[in-house]
Amino acid sequence: MTRAVWKSVGPAGPTRVVCLVAVLAAVGLLPWLSGRDPALTVLRARSAEQEATAEALAAIRDDLGLGAGPLSLLGSWGSGLLRGDLGTSWVSGTDVLPSVTAGLQVSLGLMGAAFAVAVLLACALVAPVLVRGRGSAGAFAAMLAAVPEFLLATVALLICGVWLGWLPTSGWAGPEYLVLPAIALGVPAGGLLGRLVADALPAVLDERWVELWRGAGVSRARISAAALRRVLPPLVPQFGMAAVGLTGGAVAVETVFAVPGIGRTALGAAKSQDLPLLQGSVLALLALGLVAGALSALARRRLLGPALRDAGLTLPPARPVRTHPAVPLTLAALLLITIGWGLLRDPFTVDTSARLLPPSWAHPLGTDGLGRDVLARLGHGAASTVGTAAAVCALSLLLSLALGFLPGVAAGAADIANALPPVIVGILVAAAAGPGTGGAALAVALISWPPLAAHAAALTQEVRASMFLTAQRAIGASPWWILTRHVLPSVAAPVTRHAVLRLPGIALALASLGFLGLGAQPPTPEWGLLLDESRAYVERAPWAALAPAVALALLAGLAVSGAAYAEGRTRTRKGVRGESGEKGTPVDV
């Protein structure tokens, strides 16, 4: 009986438990990892005017039990958790559970609205592929995925809330307060999901059953529905992770619109080192991630039916993604010209008499709030921004491909890591290693691999269950031959495209840590810092914010279109053989 239960749970369950305990322990150790006196931090959070005398600090230590050490505090919090008690806030003195519940309810509402926006946008991007049977969302969807959420939130607030007065700009008092935050969160997620689905659809629409159905007079709507059902199973985990990411990554949007969500609650608790409130908020985010992961796994199994269990799954043969070389060349030329031109200028010269100047020949992209040349700062910030993001992206890709062959372990760890916002991980890393570019890169690397690992695990599981691999085993093919010649090539190509698509998002995650002082520090000309510095005057000088935002969008378009063109050229030149043995129809998912 025990063996049957363990088999049904698999290795994902124990992995989730281990990762959950590790995260909560790290959060519990945060005040001691930071190297600062927890009692002093709590005193400053309670009252900035009170003098930090030895007696006042001793009273706080006695009141909170800090003298017993972190392990004792963590143990007492765990025992209270078993009774449904999340403890009492160190700062306000109130129960934590009502605050966490209220923040989670707000975030769930915002997540639902944003996810609806994302799905609608993804459908709009996928519809042309279903109608024409060719093409994909391409660079446009990648650019949408690279739009900074907080910048989109700021622009939407200014245009729709301040200038036009159509919608409220802050607070949480009714359905109309959902609209602007949901759009700001949903547009990048919709671009990502639409790009993933549209990239996989053309291979399915080239399958023989589609031609047979068309010849039999089956309606286009029914064929489109069947094609979507065919292509969605490997991508269902991405939808679940995107839903969780909308909540966990909404800290900046919640801050712009003053939304009292769980992400904003966790950030405030981390800044004030309100340990019980931070632990409760992180636990709520983790629980949400686990539920979303379980629901997405259930939906995927329902879509696949018995084919996965019975090794009766036939994989769609992929064809090269055709991208005109003019697209990546044009985007690369624009980026290189802009960056090269900026490298010829000084990014650090401050001229207060030239503050917020509009674009001109002397300053082609205008100046920022200190009179520094925006073009110069954009050019000099390219190396640190793009280079660090590319290194993190490559590390995440390698890790995800390795974990893809351990789908149970990958699923359990991915659910925990995906539920953690970059802000929380950045705080933990910065507390241990100090703020800086290296710490921010490590923090983003720790949480950027789950979507790729989930994608790789889903593809690996389906490839191993396909009928042509059963035939390979029957004729005596060795496991190493099957792994290197069939499984790995079928998984690596789509996961690599997915990783390239996430490159701009990784750059934005690095930038978000810079906003909080956990990444690159001023006056470093980093693209994320440029965006943050320009938020205060985006209404008067929008060019200062648009320059790094457009650069990130061009980077997204270049990454996706360049990868698609290179892959198409490679596959066409090699004439890879697919499972049918016909030249030019490589096995892919």
Measured between alpha carbons, how far is residue 186 from residues 110, 190, 193, 246, 435 in Å? 10, 6, 10, 8, 30
Structure tokens at 422: 């970059």
Give kind and range of the element (H or E) at residue 208.
Answer: helix 208-215
Give the CA radius of gyration of the chain. Answer: 25
- pTM score: 0.70
For residues 110 and 177, give the distance between their C-alpha atoms in angstroms, rounded to a whole number: 9
Q: What pLDDT score was predicted for residue 372?
A: 92
CA distance 298 to 292: 10
pLDDT at position 173 is 81
Compute mean pLDDT per 10 residues along the chain, 589 residues long, and list them: 39 69 76 71 74 81 77 78 81 86 87 88 85 61 70 78 80 85 88 81 80 85 84 75 67 80 80 78 76 74 60 45 70 88 89 88 89 91 82 86 70 68 73 71 82 78 64 61 66 80 74 69 78 76 81 73 63 46 34
pLDDT of residue 13: 63
CA-closest candidate to residue 564, choices 498, 475, 506? 498
35: region left, alpha or beta (phi > 0 left; psi from -120 to 50 alpha):
left
Q: Which two tokens stand for residue 3?
A: 């063996």
CB atoms within 10 A of CB 47: 11
Position 407: which residue type?
P
Domains of the chain: 99-307 (1.10.3720.10)
Q: Which residues of 471-505 are buried (b: 16+ CB within 10 A; e: fewer)?
A: ebeeeeeeeeebeeebbbebbbbbbbbbbbbbbbb
Strand partners, 88: 95
Please report the sign of the dihedral spanned by the C-alpha atoms of residue 521, residue 440, residue 296, residue 495: positive
